[in-house]
Structures are given as C-alpha cells and as structure tokens.
Amino acid sequence: MLFTDNSLKSIKEKVIANQRLSFDDGITLFNSNDLLGIGYLANIVRERKNGDRAYFINNRHINHTNICINRCLFCAFSKDKDEDGAYTMSVEDVLSAAREQRGMVSEFHIVGGLHPDLPFQYYIDMLSVLHREYPKVHIQGFTAVEIEYLSKIAGLSIKDTLIKLRDAGLGSLPGGGAEVFAERVRQKICPKKLNGGEWLNIHRTAHKIGMRSNATMLYGHIETIEERVDHLLKLRELQDETGGFMAFIPLCFHPKNTELDSVSRTTGSMDLKMLAVSRLMLDNFPHIKAFWIMVGPKLAQISLSFGVDDIDGTVVEERITHSAGAETDQSLPKDELAGMIREAGRVPVERDTLYNAIT
C-alpha cells in the first residue's frame, strides 16, 4: 500500500505491531486526507478482530414517545407535550408494534424522549409485557439519558434502576445520548442533558452488574477534532476498566428541521474517515457499526473495507434520523442486507444483540 501522507508512516508501524494509538495519532489521522491509507490501516484491525465477517441483525426499532423535556438543539424528533405531532404510545401500542413482526426479530430497540408525566411503572409494564410475549427477543432499550431520568422518577440509584429494569426484561443499553463528551459542546447543543462523566458512569454501572452496552458519538456539527479524539479516548479508558461495550457507532449529524440547520450535512469522506479512525483508536472495542439508516446503505457497504464489521439491521421504523431529513428507507429486508455484504466481499453473519451468530 502506497501512502500519500508520510505522517501516517509511524501510525502504520504501530498498527502492524498491534500497539495502541495516542491522542496525537488520532489528531494526525483526522487531519490526513489519505482516506485510502487510513482505510487500509483500519481494515487491518477490522480483519484482525473480525476476519471477513460482517454482522447484521433482524431488529425492530420502537420509539415510544417523542415528547421530551430536554429539547436538544440537534434533535428534530422531540416535541413539547402540547405541540402538533407530539405522540406517546401506550403499553398496548408498543405491544402492537412488536406484534407486527410476529416475533420474527431477535431484538427490540426501544428509545424515546424524556416524558414529563409517564411514571416509572409505564417502563416496567412495557418491558414486562414485551418480555412475557417474546421471551426470546432481546430488549435493548433506554439510552443513559433515559436511565438517569428514570432513576430520578423512580427515586432509585442508577444501579437499582438498572436492576429493576433488567428484572422486568431489559437486556442491554443502546449507545445513544453520548453526543460529544466535551462540556463546551454539550453546553451549546444539549445543555439540559446529563454530562459526559454521568453518561460514562451509567454505562460503567451497567457493565458492573453484567449488562452490556453500546457507545455512540454524534459528529459533524460544532465539535473540533480534538474533542472527537478526547471522546474516543474516554470510551477506550472505560472499556479498559469494564470490557462491557460491544459496538461503537459514530452517528453523522442530520441538520434538517433542527436548531442547527445552518450546519452542512457530513460528506462521504468525513463519514468514512470517522468510521475508520474509530476502528483504529478503539482498539479494545470488538465491533464498529455503520448505522446504514444514518450513513446510507451505499456508504455502509463501502465502509466494510474501512474498519466496519456491522451495518445494524432491518430496523423497520425509524423516526429520529428521518425527522431530521434522512432520505434512506426505514427498513431493509434481511436478504438485501446479506446481499450488500456479500457483494462487498464479506461474509454476512446474522447476529443477535450479543453478537452470537444465528444459524
């Protein structure tokens, strides 16, 4: 591989020797325009960890309410309680949405806004009825932001909140709500949200009770590359401590219908670089996921040669990115996901939430 950027040479040596990259290496990678060079390096790590396998999951997203007291500036999904388009699904509605799949999925992915009035029991009931009817379907639900809010409503510690939710059927936590950990950024784009340390602590607590989780970063708005690298290193540090993260999912910002609509959409080069640099910096994360709903199926496919080993799943219904102008479909059938992967020269593996292959 011929590198067009000489500054990548020392990083190449570290990657080949399986050595950890530093903060400065992260900055060098983000500053480099040698996309093929970066992708080549990320592919080495990807193949070392996951061979030729590329994962997808047969899942169903359910967003139970869009009413949210936080109103983050980057969010086009949330509404105030009395605003047009505000909705809240009853527990019965959630069950009906789940029944549309007739139990054919292996995961329900449930996230929503911070509703001012719903009691803790609503969440316990939702999990209980889903778990009773579909005991084999893994429920991945509630971002750290929601867990913190639920702990306040329930008057319980984070640990006891997680245990109560787990007893009702919760299997793992999704990676949302992380945004960018830097306080400068949070003050500007999500001032009411829990801070970076609190997000990390909720995942730490989940991992300590044996619950696995994912991590995300929302990029392509006002963050600097230093803030991106700092975010990745904070995740890497927690993963060193607990080993509880499964996948990292960089989420590209969709500005339409948000308070930040003057920001341009991310480009293909930025998305691929973000995915590849994540693979290189997060040496202790087993999986890097390109959420095809956000980056688009075509780029998700190409990313399988740039560090990515997972393209998420069938999804079925997606409101968060589509409220913010995503032009992707809301669902892709299993055989199309598998076909995309095969055409990219990888071996499709249908997985469950915990990355066990479904045969």
Q: Which residues bind ligand SF4 (CB under 6 A)?
A: 68, 70-72, 75, 77-78, 113-114, 145, 190, 193
Cβ 134 vs Cβ 98: under 8 Å: yes
CB-wise, 127 or 147, nearer to ligand SF4? 147
CA distances, 25 to each of 49, 222, 281 (Å): 21, 21, 9
Residue choice 58, 143, 305, 328 for contact with ligand V47 (CB under 6 A): 143
Q: What is the C-alpha separation between 204 and 208, in angstroms, rounded?
A: 6
Residue choice 39, 112, 174, 348 for contact with ligand V47 (CB under 6 A): 174
Beta carbon of residue 301, minimum distance to ligand SF4 (angstroms, whole number): 27
Binding mask 69-88 for ligand V47 (x = CB under 6 A): -----xxx------------
Residue choice 321, 322, 328, 349 for contact with ligand V47 (CB under 6 A): 321
Query: Do the strands 310-313 and 53-57 form a parallel or antiparallel pair, or are they unpaired?
Result: parallel
Q: How many residues bind ligand V47, per CB under 6 A?
A: 23
Q: Which long-range contacts (CB under 8 A, 24 or more apart) does 263-269 make?
A: 263/220, 263/221, 263/222, 265/220, 266/219, 266/220, 268/299, 269/35
Q: Which amino acid, residue 287?
A: H
253 touches ligand V47 (CB under 6 A)? yes
CB-wise, 70 or 101, nearer to ligand SF4? 70
Q: What is the C-alpha separation between 134 and 172, in angstroms, rounded?
A: 16
CB-wise, 50 or 323, nearer to ligand SF4? 323
Beta carbon of residue 220, minimum distance to ligand V47 (angstroms, whole number): 8
141 touches ligand V47 (CB under 6 A)? no
Residues 92 to 121 in contact with ligand V47, rule: CB under 6 A? 111
Beta carbon of residue 127, minimum distance to ligand SF4 (angstroms, whole number): 19
Q: Residue 279 phi/psi, 5° resolution? A: -60, -40
Residues 1 to 30 in contact with ligand V47, rule: CB under 6 A? none
Binding mask 280-309 for ligand V47 (x = CB under 6 A): -----------x------------------
Residue 71 interaction partner, one of ligand V47, ligand SF4, none, beta carbon < 5-8 Å per kind: ligand SF4
Q: Quick one: which segment of 62-70, 169-177, 224-232, 269-277 binds ligand V47 (CB under 6 A)?
A: 169-177
Beta carbon of residue 39, minimum distance to ligand V47 (angstroms, whole number): 22
Query: Rounded to 10 degrees, what is the CA torsion of 320, 325, 331, 336?
Result: -130
Residue 78 interaction partner, one of ligand SF4, ligand V47, none, beta carbon < 5-8 Å per kind: ligand SF4
46 Cβ partners below 8 Å, 6+ apart?
Answer: 279, 288, 307, 308, 309
Residue choice 320, 332, 337, 340 for contact with ligand V47 (CB under 6 A): 320
Q: What is the C-alpha separation between 286 and 213, in angstroms, rounded?
A: 12
CB-wise, 70 or 195, nearer to ligand SF4? 70
Residues that bind ligand V47 (CB under 6 A): 74-76, 111, 143, 174-177, 179, 214, 216, 218, 249, 251, 253-254, 258, 291, 312, 320-321, 324
